[in-house]
Amino acid sequence: MKTLQDVRVLMLSDAPRDSDQLSVWLPSEGASIDSRPWPEQALQLAGSPDVIVIDTHGNEARVDALLDQLKAASATAAIPLIGLSRRPITGSDAAAMTARFNKHLTQPFHPADLVGAIASLVKSMPVVPAAAPTHEESFRSLLETRIARKDLRGALALLNMSGPFRFTSVLRFEADERLTSLWTFDRENPDRDDFPVDAVTSSSYCVRVRDAQAPFQMPDSAADPSVANHPAKASVQSYCGVPLYREDGSFFGTLCQFDLVPRFFGDNTLTRLLGAAPVIQLHLDKLAG
């Protein structure tokens, strides 16, 4: 039996794209999910959900207003609430979050954590750990769908959700030694691509990927002697990138994640990029056209 068999989940998010991964995972565990923006449509419920998941998106004032609405409505007043936050919550903020929600998770988290939280709140529903490997199948399916419809921004946003880096990019090496961006997703400015238009190949860590024809990882430029003289050492302080190739086997560029501060990441970051690269390569002509 699936962990959330027949459980009805209402997902309220101020950034619907960010809930896509959960919208794939939760049904794979047997739940039905209704995803809506908030707070405008929060009370327009189709039936009565078993649990409500709210992506706070860092907007505490609007969350408070939304919770007031939910608590005041007879249809939702007694429904358990799970809050998702974008930053670590400590001190008085943690106490306030505990008071607002029955459960609270801080991103990034594995969707299996949310499955367990929902199961623990729904009466008569056993808490069964979800098998983590099945998440990769759901993730890849969603990534393939976005790439196939040429939604590179959406695909990179999905990759960005699963790691600590601020930026996720597909970068192309030009014949004149410039580096251009097909799209660079910036977690702080998700609708803009501000990658420098005059970027020079030699000033990037991506050149390490090209020259070695292999991935390059660096959690902290200050602690990595191999980049001691690199021109980007003081600005881009963490990086993880893998090569991208054209259909004829020639080098195209990189799929990479990077940040302006050190980021200590696990093996799953490189594994996720290596898994995504072949999906992107299948559609490079359309994406770069």
Tens of pLDDT along 114-128? Answer: 888 898 888 655 554
Query: Which residues contact residue 61 at a Cβ distance below 8 angstroms, ignoring those fewer than 6 apart?
Result: none
Specify the higher pLDDT residue, 89 or 267: 267
Regarding predicted confidence, which is higher, 129 or 4? Answer: 4
> How much is the pLDDT for 219?
94
User: What pLDDT is attached to residue 39?
Assistant: 53
Q: Which residue has the higher pLDDT, 7 or 63?
A: 7
Name the residue with higher pLDDT: 82 or 242. Answer: 242
pTM of the model: 0.59
* Residue 160 parent element (H or E): helix 152-161
Alpha-carbon span 73 to 132, nearest angstrom: 36
Q: 277 falls in which pLDDT band (50, 70, 90)?
A: very high
Mean pLDDT on 207-220: 95
Contact 254, 169 (CB under 8 A): yes
Short-list 6, 77, 91, CA closest to 43: 77
User: What pLDDT, on the 0 to 100 scale, is given for residue 206?
Assistant: 95
More confident residue, 232 or 15: 232
pLDDT at 90 over 80: no
CB 106 within 8 A of CB 85: yes
Query: 156-177, pLDDT tens digit by residue?
Result: 988 888 788 999 999 999 989 8
How high does pLDDT run on average in the chain?
82
Query: What six digits make up the tokens of 144?
Result: 């393939």
User: What pLDDT, on the 0 to 100 scale, is given for residue 15?
Assistant: 63
What are the pLDDT digits (tens) for 225-239? Answer: 999 999 999 999 999
How far is residue 264's CA from residue 271's CA, in Å, rounded to a whole number? Answer: 15
